Structure 1
Amino acid sequence: MTTLENRPHTALLVVDVQNGVVEGAHERDVVVANIGVLVERARREQIPVVWVQHSDEQLVRGSDNWRIVPELAPDDAEPLVEKHYSDSFEDTTLETVLSGLGVGRLVVAGAQTDECIRSTIHGAFVRGYDVTLVSDAHTTEDQTEWGAPPPDKVIAHTNLYWTYQTAPGRTAGTAETKNVDFGRTS
């Protein structure tokens, strides 16, 4: 139901599952394992997997912190989009990559819930994409020291409000890893 013309396909978008991003994240191993399940299922179903990798002063390009976690291995044929802002679309090649694949629906997983995940799902939605957030395949670190709720509450709140997100001609929602339906078309 995307508002993007001639974009019938779905892609799995894996955002910032990098050593330095998820090393202290809530339920890191469970989330990374769920993302691994999604990646393997997408590959099996011939659904494009698009990787996003952040770099900044703390995630210096080429450093160990910058690398995608060892449990996940992007295939050489899978697009990798480098970014410097929270929204994976902002000043990147993501829109060009997705357009070239005919993608109008995104299934999103990764980190961090309260920054890059939220920015990316909102960025995709306002650009006309249908967006499914995988409710048990995104995470964040504990930022209660700075006044944020505990990580489990941040994740639960994001899942709650994304379940009910609406806009004309687009769909949003959440699904657990085991219930994700990539489908061939939106």
Structure 2
Amino acid sequence: MAKALVVIDMQKFMFREEAPAFQSDRLIERVQSLLKQARETGTPIIYIQHNAGEGTPLEYGTTNWEIDDRIGPMDKDIVIHKTTPDSFYQTALQGTLDQMGVNHLMITGIQTEACVDTTTRSAFGKGYEVTVVTDAHSTFDTEDLRAEQIIAHHNKVLRWFAHTKETKDISFEVIR
């Protein structure tokens, strides 16, 4: 079973000092750990990068739009751009996965209730095996809920569509 690590929307805007994602330092550390393990085992790494419209925080080509330097892609990593919460919708993701023979996605990133949730459900609907790394995705507080509540809720709901595991329980097989 070929796996890929999918890192969703870990862009500089999500980690800005005045309003970072919930537990952003821990999130970065956990994603760094997963990236290290994926690279050591030859597991493909796919970064999903959200492109928003002109004048928005994630406007294509701006500094805020760039993938955070602490986890940024290496030359052999794949970067796929999207314009909706679904990383598959009108993107090259499915074709890329099919070409690589990947059938199991390990999902991390931001924003729990939007892009992580939607991509997980979409992948499940397309027949992929999915693992959501429960302590390696994050979001922001809303007027109604704290980020911690949103994350806990989605970790419970996404069990219907994916395996749910913490970073410490994730393993990638060595690809020869």
Runs of 4+ in 1 over 4 A off after TM superposition: none
Q: Distance in 2 between matches of 1:117 and 1:22?
A: 17
Q: Is the 8 A contact 2:104 2:130 kept in 1?
A: yes
- Unaligned 5+ runs, structure 2: none
Alignment of 1:36-185 (within 5 A): 36-57=32-53, 58=56, 59-143=58-142, 145=143, 147=144, 149-163=145-159, 165=160, 172-183=162-173
- Mapped partners of 2:30, 2:133: distance in 1: 9
Distance in 1 of aligned mates of 2:6 and 2:69: 18
Instruction: Give the drift of 1:21.
Output: 2.7
TM-score w.r.t. length of structure 1: 0.87
Alpha-carbon RMSD: 1.4
CA distance in 1: counterparts of 2:49 and 2:15, whole angstroms: 12
Q: Read off the aligned partner of 2:11 and give its amino acid letter.
A: Q
Q: Which runs of 5+ in 1 are unaligned?
A: 1-7, 167-171
CA distance in 1, matches of 2:173, 2:45: 14
Instruction: For residues 45-103 of structure 1, give each alpha carbon's deviation from its aligned partner in whole angstroms, at most 9, with x where no partner exists.
Output: 11101110001032111111101111112011111100001000000000111011100
Alpha-carbon contact 1:22-1:111 (below 8 Å) kept? no
Distance (Å, rounded) in 1 between the aligned partners of 2:165 and 2:77 = 23
Between the aligned partners of 1:181 and 1:22, the Cα distance in structure 2 is: 27
Structure 1 Cα separation of the partners of residues 109 and 15 of structure 2: 9
SS in 1 for 2:69: coil
Q: Contact 1:107/1:182 (CA < 8 Å) preserved in 2?
A: no
Whether the aligned pair in 2 keeps the contact of 1:10 and 1:184 (CA below 8 Å) is no
TM-superposed deviation, 1:34: 0.4
Deviation at 1:22, TM superposition (A): 3.7
Q: Kindly report which structure 2 residues correspond to 1:3-18, keeping only aligned pairs within 5 A, or say none.
A: 8-18=1-11
Question: Taking structure 2 as the reference length, what is the TM-score of the superposition?
Answer: 0.92
Distance in 1 (CA, whole Å) between partners of 2:174 and 2:5 is 12
Letter in 2 for 1:13: V
Measured in 2, the distance between the counterparts of 1:110 and 1:154 equals 14
- 8 Å Cα contact 1:53/1:82 also seen in 2: yes
- Aligned sequence identity (%): 34
Aligned to 2:25: 29
Cα 1:74–1:15 shift into 2, 3 Å:
same
Offset at 1:182? Answer: 2.4
1:137 shift after superposition? 0.3
Alpha-carbon distance in structure 1 between the residues aligned to 2:156 and 2:171:
19
